[in-house]
Amino acid sequence: MNTQKPRQASENGSDGFNASRRDFLKLSSAVAAASITPSVVTKAADKKVDERIADYFEKMTLNIEVNGTAQQLQVEPRVTLLDLLREQLHLTGTKKGCDHGQCGACTVHADGKRINSCLSLAIMNEGKKITTIEGLAKGEELHPVQQAFIKHDGFQCGYCTPGQIMSAVSCIREGHANSAGEIREFMSGNICRCGAYPNIVDAIMDVKKGGQDV
């Protein structure tokens, strides 16, 4: 992910774009942030305690409901929904396969619609209801699509599976599961390198034909 560098640091590494938080705080303390105890902040920066303070200033409040639980979180604006789920909320069922919206492994539902969580910054989901693979089953009772994936062996390694299942549920809800051909098209945003596609199609057809509530 680092073969291409978006920006090069200048020689001393302290230009505006690349300034460390310490530099930023020293600068801002002298100007706009005068009202928030600048001397304390500056001193803290010198003593390298600045990062916790930087945390306070640079994180935003995010109100989000994840798998039925409302949460208020403090999140940096650059954190993706995927990394928030995996690294901070420890919901690792949602997978990272490319981080570029190219593979679908990170598919979750946002207000009931499937999205690539790697392409969505966490703070863009303010007030939304997120459902991940961990939130699909009702307790011990698997969702019909989960059950059908087991029955039809719609996976091998299982890494793309959570994304496939979240997409499959949406595929049926959207009304895009009326034929094998239609399912193939509307499931083509989710790559399975093990090659379980025919079984995934069978699983979705099975649920669709069964008419269960998804």
Partner 1 sequence: MGNHFFDKATMPAGQDRVDGRAKVTGTARFAAEHPVPELTYGVLVCSTITKGHIKSLDTKAAEKAAGVLAVLSHLNSPKVPGFDPPKPANKDEKPRAWDGLKVFYSDKIYFNGQPIAVVVADTYERALYAATLVKAEYIKEPHQTDFNANIKQAASPKGGGDDYTRGEANAWKKAPVTLEAEYIVPFEVHNPMELHAIIAVWEAEDKITVYDKTQGPKDTQQSIMQAFNLPEKNVQVVTEYVGGAFGSALRTWPHEIAAMLAAKKVNKPVKLVLGRDNMFTLVGYRPYTIQKIGLGATEDGKLTGITHTAISQTSSYEEFTEGAVGVSKFLYACPNVNTSYKLIPLDIGTPTWMRGPGEATGCFALESALDELSYKLNIDPVELRLRNYAETDPQRNLPWSSKYLKECYQMGAEKIGWFQRNRNPRSMQEDGMLVGYGMSTGVFGAFRWNATAKGIFHADGTLTVQSAVSDMGPGTSTSMVNIASEAFGLPHDKIKFELGSSSLPPGPTQGGSGTTSTLGSAVHEVCVELTNQLKQLALSAGNSPFKNAKPEGLAVENGNVLLVADRNIKMSYVDILKQHNKPELEFMKESNAGEEQKKYSMYSYSVHFTKLHVHPSTGVITIKKVVTAGDAGKIVSEKTARSQMIGGVTGGIGMALTEEGIIDHRYGRYVNNNLADYHVPVNADVPEIEALFVNRPDPYLNPMGAKGMGEIALIGYAASVANAVYHATGKRIRDLPITLDKIIS
Q: Does 92 bind partner 1 (CB under 8 A)?
A: yes
Parallel, antiparallel or unpaired: strands 129-131 and 60-66: parallel
- Site for partner 1 contains 70 (CB under 8 A): no
201 binds partner 1 (CB under 8 A): yes
Chain-centroid distance of CA 65 in Å reads 13
In the complex with partner 1, which residue's Cβ is closer, 65 or 76?
76
Of 107, 81, 110, 84, the C-alpha closest to 94 is: 107
* Closest by CA position to 152, among listed 141, 163, 164: 164
Question: Which window, 28-36, 123-131, 193-201, 205-213, contacts partner 1 (CB under 8 A)?
Answer: 193-201
What track of x and - describes contact with partner 1 for positions 24 through 63 (by CB under 8 A)? --------------------------xx--x---------
Q: How many CB atoms lie within 10 A of CB 10?
A: 11
Site membership for partner 1, residue 86 (CB under 8 A): yes
Q: Per CB under 8 A, which of residues 120..139 are in contact with partner 1?
A: 132-134, 136-137
CB 144 within 8 A of CB 214: yes
- Closest approach, Cβ 109 to partner 1, in A, equals 13
